[in-house]
Amino acid sequence: MNEKQIEELEDLAAVDLQGEILIPEPEDSAALEYFKQCTPARIGVWRSGPRPLTRTLLRFRADHATAQDSVFKEVSEEFLAKFDLVKVQTLVKNKDQYLTRPDLGRMLSEEDLAKICKECQGSPQVQIIIADGLSSRAIEANLEDILPALKQGLSAYNLQVGTDIFVKYGRVAVMDVIGMALEAEVIVLLVGERPGLGTSDSMSAYMIYKPNKETLMADHSVVSNIHKGGTPPAEAGAHLATVLKKIYDAKASGVKLTLQ
């Protein structure tokens, strides 16, 4: 097969499963179409005897490959260059280590901590951090829409925003380390979620009020499923600004905020 023939092959991962009906002569076509529009799950995929259709199996493998690509790909430097970011890296050296040593993804070197303290504004009311997490695609697919909407919302609430930071190979808890170093009041981390077979570009936003060494995961508030098939990134940015304002006013986040 030559390159031209390869280019002409259908990209199964790009096919809209919700609009594809594979069951021949369904009993209730309208009901099936309705259910398929309600979920991206693989329903009504039909079979050949006890086995899935070749098309169904290939789509499953294509989605699995896309999910793997999201985990192992790096966020491109060209994409990051579009934003004014202070870039640092956790103690993780590569993707393999990121997956096997999550503890290192929560820590920064003394040099990078010093860089943050030198190049970033101290004691901001809101500190925005971006981390690749488990999906580089989530960052590249959503950041251009969510970041301006988030900043616009925070500006409307008269909340002062610090210097944006990008953390390579970052885990959620790295936001607490940065928050303590900068003495930020509220921190929000935009991070790539672990990809699934239906969604490989989903982002989460973790938020916390004044983290310290005693901080627990329960102290974080979170908004997940941010992508074009879930909460659209621009809409999510506006919503996050509202949540951050609530956290700032209540001086609490996570379970503590819920209990107020």
How much is the pTM?
A: 0.88
Of 72, 89, 108, the domain-final residue: 72
Q: Rounded to an integer, what distance in angstroms lies between the CA atom of residue 224 and that of residue 243? A: 13
pLDDT at 6: 65
Asked whether residue 120 falls in the same domain as residue 238, the answer is yes
- The CATH number of the domain holding residue 210 is 3.40.50.11240
pLDDT of residue 1: 63
How many beta carbons lie within 10 A of that of residue 1, not counting itself? 7
Query: Are 38 and 144 found together in one domain?
Result: no
Of 72, 107, 132, the domain-final residue = 72
Residues 207 and 146 in one domain: yes
Specify the pLDDT at position 193. 95
> What is the number of domains present in the chain?
2
- pLDDT tens by residue, 65-85: 888 888 999 999 999 999 999
One domain, residues 109 and 138: yes
Q: What integer pLDDT is reported at residue 18 of this predicted model?
A: 78
Domain coverage including residue 65: 3-72
> How much is the mean pLDDT over the chain?
93
From first to last of its 260 residues, the chain has per-residue pLDDT tens of 677 776 677 777 777 777 888 899 899 999 999 998 888 788 888 888 999 998 888 888 988 888 888 899 999 999 999 999 999 999 999 999 999 999 999 999 999 999 999 999 999 999 999 999 999 999 999 999 999 999 999 999 999 999 999 999 999 999 999 999 999 999 999 999 999 887 889 999 999 999 999 999 999 999 999 999 899 999 999 999 999 999 999 999 999 999 98
Are 82 and 39 in the same domain? no
State the pLDDT at residue 176: 98
DSSP result, 154-220: HHHTTPPB---EEEET--TTHHHHHHHHHT-SEEEEEEEPPP-SS-SS-EEEEEEES--TT--GGG-
Q: What is the CATH number of the domain that holds 52?
A: 1.10.30.40
Residue 66 confidence (pLDDT): 86
Q: 236 near 148, Cβ under 8 Å?
A: no
Number of other residues whose CB lies within 10 A of the CB of residue 78: 8
172 is an annotated ligand-binding site residue? yes
| 8 marked as part of a ligand binding site | no
Residues 99 and 222 occupy one common structural domain: yes
Cα distances (angstroms) measured from residue 242 to each of 42, 146, 229: 35, 14, 22
The neighbour count for residue 44, using CB atoms within 10 Å, is: 15
The three-point CA angle 252-256-259 to 5° equals: 120
Same domain, residue pair 114 and 194 = yes
Are 103 and 149 part of one and the same domain? yes
128 shares a domain with 30: no
What does the pLDDT read at residue 207?
99
Residue 13 has a pLDDT of: 72
Last residue of a domain, one of 42, 72, 102: 72
- Collapsing DSSP to helix, strand or coil, 223 comes out as strand
